[in-house]
Amino acid sequence: MFLIKKIFLFFKRELNLFYNNIADLFSNILFFFLSIFIFVFALGAEEQLLRSIGLGIIWSLLLLSSTLSLRKFYEDDFNNGVIKIIHMSGISYELFVFLKILSHFFFVQIPFLISIPIACIFFNLPINEVYNLMITFIIGSLILSCLGSISASMNLLNKTNFSIGSIIVLLFSIPVIIFSVGINNSEDSFRSLINLLIGITLIFLGVSPWSSAAFIKLALRNK
Amino acid sequence: MLLINNLSFSRNDNIIFQNLNLSLSDRSITQIRGKNGSGKTTLLQVILNFLECKTGEIFWEGKNIKKNIFSFYNQTTFIMDHNTCTRKMTILDNINFWSGLSSSKLTKNEILLLLETFNIQKYQNTKTMYLSAGEIKKLELLRLVLEQKKLWILDEPYNHLDDLSIQILNQTFIDHINKDGIVLFTSHLNPSISNLEVVEL
């Protein structure tokens, strides 16, 4: 019973921080739109060309812009010791990581959903591709949150070079891109590809709390 | 009762402390005194199991804390030497978060009264990033009263505090000891508390 109350409090605090850091979210969305504009200007206004490559561009830019905010995933809580206080109140590191992944999914990735239909207008994508994109993004962004948690916890003690963290995210997100862009090219295998994506999500949801918690423990020991 | 038996800790073959024995009985207040860099904070981190000790064991109420870590944490308040409040949240939000985490039984009026004692009540809806270092330290120390745990472990509690607040803090320590509590703190100062046991590092 107390645990549920603590989890509720954790999300209340995350919501409070989300309100205070809303400028970060807007700057990420702005980065996403500006890079789409740059692609459109660079490729020229050929409708057929844009329509054929639009989906891939939107997915890769979503990936890049979601790696932008990864640095802040654990850093603030780690540096000011909130992780220790939460741990001392009876929440294990694994549960903390799991809650943090969920809160990153709800407060960073889900707001991006609003920007996806607007981005699809620029590429003149057909409506069923937009639906597919939304569904795959909801599943894929949870994978990205898990990957972000792993890379951010690995880089807790690394103050100078964060690009190594983005490399891990980009490397492991290749299957996500393959399956989620593949959904549109093969109509009849929609079900199986969605199942594959959900399977990858479940694997990462299982693996990332343990690995991130191990990295956090390691970082606390060597601080 | 906290018992520390034959504790050693070293970092990169650099021995910080060795064969340390310490026993904190109920109704006792202990200060760990030492020069800068003598390993005071490291000792506290080892006691709280955030750092792995090389040899030795720590017992809380007769049980090894490594096997019963959450029952040890359940009776411990740890005040760190740096600020643990979230800078972008207001004082009241921080307090509500802490009191919820420790399932505190204090009512809202009691909390407001505590804020008034430390003279930070007028800032209760201000974000903590706009407070001075002393005011933030006072806010941190509120967690002692808020969590109502038996063992208090404090790292440099006198930093940034003015004379009046130091007096209030010492009085709080004495009140806590009289209620069967245990206090363990590090400092390089010589505070004027009766029955203070000093451990030199």
Residue pair A53/A120 in contact by the 8 Å Cβ criterion: no
Contact status of B130 with chain A (Cβ, < 8 Å) = no
Residues of chain A contacting B, Cβ within 8 Å: 2, 5-6, 9, 12-13, 16-17, 20-21, 76, 80-82, 84-90, 220-221
- Most B CBs within 10 Å: which of A1, A11, A88, A107, as the mutation test of the B interface? A88
Q: Which domains does chain B possess?
A: 1-75+150-201 (3.40.50.300), 81-149 (no CATH)
- Which of B52, B73, B84 is opposite residue A82, by nearest beta carbon? B84
The pLDDT, as a whole number, for residue A33 is: 92
CA distance B77 to chain A (A): 8
pLDDT tens readout for residues B33-73: 888 888 888 899 899 888 888 888 899 888 888 888 888 99
> How distant is the Cα of A42 from the closest Cα of chain B, in angstroms?
40
pLDDT at A201: 93
Contact B98 A85 (CB under 8 A): yes
Interface check for B61 against chain A (CB to CB < 8 A): the answer is no
| Residue B110 pLDDT class (50, 70, 90 cuts) | confident
Q: How confident is the model at residue B183 (pLDDT cuts 50, 70, 90)?
A: very high
Q: What is the pLDDT along chain A (223 residues), one digit of tens a residue?
A: 788 988 999 999 999 999 988 998 899 899 999 999 898 888 887 888 888 888 888 888 988 888 887 878 888 888 888 999 999 988 999 999 999 999 999 998 888 888 888 888 888 888 888 888 888 889 989 999 999 999 999 888 887 777 888 888 888 888 888 888 888 777 778 888 889 999 999 999 999 999 999 999 999 888 7
The nearest CA of chain A is from the CA of B39 a distance in Å of 14
Reported as a single tens digit per residue, the pLDDT across A50-77 is 888 888 888 889 888 888 878 788 888 8
Check A81 against B50: CB less than 8 A apart. no
Euclidean distance between CA atoms A166 and A164, whole angstroms: 5
Interface contact flag, A5 B103, Cβ < 8 Å: yes
CA atoms within 13 A of residue B138's CA, in its CB half-sphere: 25
User: Helices in chain B by DSSP H: which ranges?
Assistant: 40-47, 69-73, 91-101, 108-117, 133-147, 163-178
Chain A residues with beta carbon closer than 8 angstroms to that of B88? 17, 20-21
The per-residue pLDDT for range B127-153, each reduced to its tens digit, is 888 988 888 888 888 888 888 889 999
Which of A8, A15, A85 is the best mutation test for B, with the most CBs of B within 10 A? A85
For residue B103, what are its two tokens? 């399932």
Of B73, B84, B96, Cβ closest to residue A90:
B73
Q: What is the pLDDT of residues B74-101, one digit of tens each?
A: 889 999 888 888 888 899 889 989 888 8
Would an 8 Å CB–CB cutoff place B159 in contact with chain A?
no
Q: Chain A residue with minimal CA distance to B48?
A: A88
The pTM of this model reads 0.91
Which ranges of A44-157 would DSSP assign to H, the alpha helix?
A: 47-68, 75-79, 82-88, 93-104, 112-123, 127-154
Nearest to B89 among A9, A16, A220 (CB): A16
Structure confidence by residue, pLDDT tens digits, A184-207:
777 778 888 889 999 999 999 999
Structure tokens at A127: 């409506």
* Phi, psi (rounded to 5 degrees) for A30: -65, -40
Domain range summary for chain A, segments of one domain joined by + = 2-221
Alpha-carbon gap, residue A54 to A36, rounded angstroms: 9
CA angle B4, B72, B74 (to 5 degrees): 150
